[in-house]
């Protein structure tokens, strides 16, 4: 496939088109991603998340600038929500990524949810692969941190930075909703605003108390625990930045690097990748099976008819599912039997 070879050869347009095909699910995109896979695994993937207005785009811009100064190539996936009503969206993150425009070694791509629940994390993971195979050193995924969908997206990253701006009491609240657990680095952005010190303190406090509940620590003494922790576990760091002025960005870069080193040294990078791929396989399988069963449902006259039959008390949901899955079950059983027969001497 020429798109793959063009992409691997460093053609920007091929990369752009590949991501378009991934987004549109254009026929053949799966084969495309499959071919790219063996060329991936070299990039550091960083997720940046936080509430709207936290300063994600600005920080990503400054981060990118810093990486470029260090001669590293960067890919950015900026993910915005789309209107659930029209499907349309205005993707505005690009505006705030001004300090590297004109530099083709920074590849910025805006993506929207397009109303597909869950599907966006698959598209994001695939787009990351495209950027990785293209040879980007650092890939930054930027997304609003609200809800499961976004958390799934951010999980695609090796290192997750959660932005917490001071000034609104709700930010710590947001952290309680599942984002806190995935943060490797907490960035108190807009640290020049009043209340920043308090947020930093609260975050440190949360990090400390979180560790009290870490399962591995049960049953050991306090002193041993602290030694254990520093040796094997990453303690989430708190970094203060003023992204608009570029303050603290250098420190953030070194903390991100520390985390990347930690992942590599502790073997966690491979472990995380393995878990990620396991999830990917499960997701694909679920989606494909869903599609397969949807076809079977259509063949049986459609979901509406089946539901009508249930309403008339002619049958019930469990029976219908059993019937629908019977052919698949049969195949699985036949295969298992065949294998048993083959293995017997």
Partner 1 sequence: MSAEQGREQRTIRCLVAKVGLDGHDRGAHVIARAFRDAGFEVIYSGLHKSPDEIVQAAVQEDVDVLGISILSGAHNTLVPKIIEGLEEYNALSDTLVILGGIVPEDDRPELREMGVAEIFGPGASMEETTQFVRENAPER
Cα(184)–Cα(161) distance, integer angstroms = 6
What minimum distance in Å lies between the beta carbon of 107 and partner 1? Answer: 6
Cα(6)–Cα(11) distance, integer angstroms = 5
Of the listed pieces 53-61, 88-96, 190-198, 303-311, which binds partner 1 according to CB under 8 A?
88-96
Residue 33 interacting with partner 1 (CB under 8 A)? no
Residue 68 interacting with partner 1 (CB under 8 A)? no
Question: For 113-167, where are the alpha helices, taking DSSP H only?
Answer: 119-134, 148-154
Instruction: Identify residues 289-328 at the interface with partner 1 (CB under 8 A).
Output: 291, 295
**Measured from the CB atom, is 285 or 308 closer to partner 1?**
285
What minimum distance in Å lies between the beta carbon of 262 and partner 1? Answer: 32
| Strand-pair partners of 161 | 48, 185
Residue 89 interacting with partner 1 (CB under 8 A)? yes
Contact between 161 and 256 (Cβ < 8 Å): yes
Cα(295)–Cα(289) distance, integer angstroms = 10
Question: CB under 8 Å to 161, separation ≥6 — which residues?
Answer: 46, 47, 48, 49, 183, 184, 185, 186, 187, 252, 256
Residue 19 interacting with partner 1 (CB under 8 A)? yes
Residues touching partner 1: how many (CB under 8 A)? 40
Query: Helix 29-37 and helix 12-24: axis angle, to 10°?
Result: 130
Of the listed pieces 53-61, 79-87, 200-208, 335-343, which binds partner 1 according to CB under 8 A?
79-87
Residue 34 interacting with partner 1 (CB under 8 A)? no
**Measured from the CB atom, is 15 or 199 closer to partner 1?**
15
Contact between 281 and 206 (Cβ < 8 Å): no
What minimum distance in Å lies between the beta carbon of 27 and partner 1? Answer: 4
Residue 17 interacting with partner 1 (CB under 8 A)? yes
Which one among 8, 39, 68, 94 touches partner 1, defined by CB under 8 A? 94
Can you give the length of the chain in residues? 345
Contact between 21 and 28 (Cβ < 8 Å): yes
**Measured from the CB atom, is 19 or 161 closer to partner 1?**
19
Cα(231)–Cα(226) distance, integer angstroms = 9
Contact between 74 and 140 (Cβ < 8 Å): yes
Question: CB under 8 Å to 117, separation ≥6 — which residues?
Answer: 149
Which one among 5, 34, 42, 101 touches partner 1, defined by CB under 8 A? 101
Cα(288)–Cα(122) distance, integer angstroms = 13
Residue 245 interacting with partner 1 (CB under 8 A)? no
103-142 mask for partner 1 (x: CB under 8 A)?
-x--xxxx-x-x-x--------------------------
Residue 337 interacting with partner 1 (CB under 8 A)? no
Residue ranges that bind partner 1, judged by CB under 8 A: 12-13, 16-17, 19-20, 23-30, 82-83, 86-92, 94-96, 98, 101-102, 104, 107-110, 112, 114, 116, 288, 291, 295
């Amino acid at each position: 496939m020429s798109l793959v070879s063009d992409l691997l050869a460093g053609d920007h347009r091929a990369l752009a088109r590949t991501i378009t095909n991934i987004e549109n699910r254009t026929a053949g995109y799966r084969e495309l991603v499959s071919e790219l896979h063996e060329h991936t695994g070299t990039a550091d993937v960083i997720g940046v998340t936080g509430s709207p207005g936290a300063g994600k785009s600005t920080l990503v811009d400054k981060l990118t600038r810093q990486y470029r100064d260090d001669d590293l190539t960067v890919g950015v996936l900026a993910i915005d929500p789309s209107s659930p009503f029209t499907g349309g969206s205005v993707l505005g993150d690009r505006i705030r990524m001004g300090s590297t425009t004109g530099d083709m070694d920074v590849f910025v791509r805006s993506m929207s949810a397009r109303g597909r629940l869950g599907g966006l994390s698959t598209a994001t993971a695939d787009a990351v692969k495209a950027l990785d195979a293209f040879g980007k050193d650092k890939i930054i995924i930027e997304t609003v941190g609200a809800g499961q969908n976004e958390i799934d997206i951010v999980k695609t990253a090796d290192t997750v930075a959660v932005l917490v701006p001071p000034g609104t009491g709700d930010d710590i609240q947001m952290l309680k909703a599942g984002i806190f657990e995935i943060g490797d680095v907490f960035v108190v952005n807009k640290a020049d605003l009043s209340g920043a010190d308090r947020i930093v303190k609260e975050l440190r406090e949360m990090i400390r108390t979180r560790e009290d509940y870490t399962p591995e620590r049960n049953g050991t003494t306090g002193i041993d625990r602290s030694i254990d922790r520093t040796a094997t576990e990453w303690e989430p760091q708190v970094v203060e930045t003023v992204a608009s002025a570029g303050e603290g960005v250098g420190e953030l870069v070194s903390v991100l690097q520390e985390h990347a080193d930690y992942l590599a040294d502790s073997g966690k990078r491979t472990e995380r990748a393995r878990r990620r791929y396991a999830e990917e396989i499960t997701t694909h399988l679920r989606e494909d099976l869903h599609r397969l069963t949807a076809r079977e449902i259509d063949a049986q006259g459609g979901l509406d008819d089946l539901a009508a039959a249930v309403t008339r008390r002619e049958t019930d949901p469990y029976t219908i599912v059993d019937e629908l899955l019977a052919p698949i079950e049969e195949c699985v059983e036949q295969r298992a039997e065949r294998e048993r027969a083959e293995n017997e001497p």
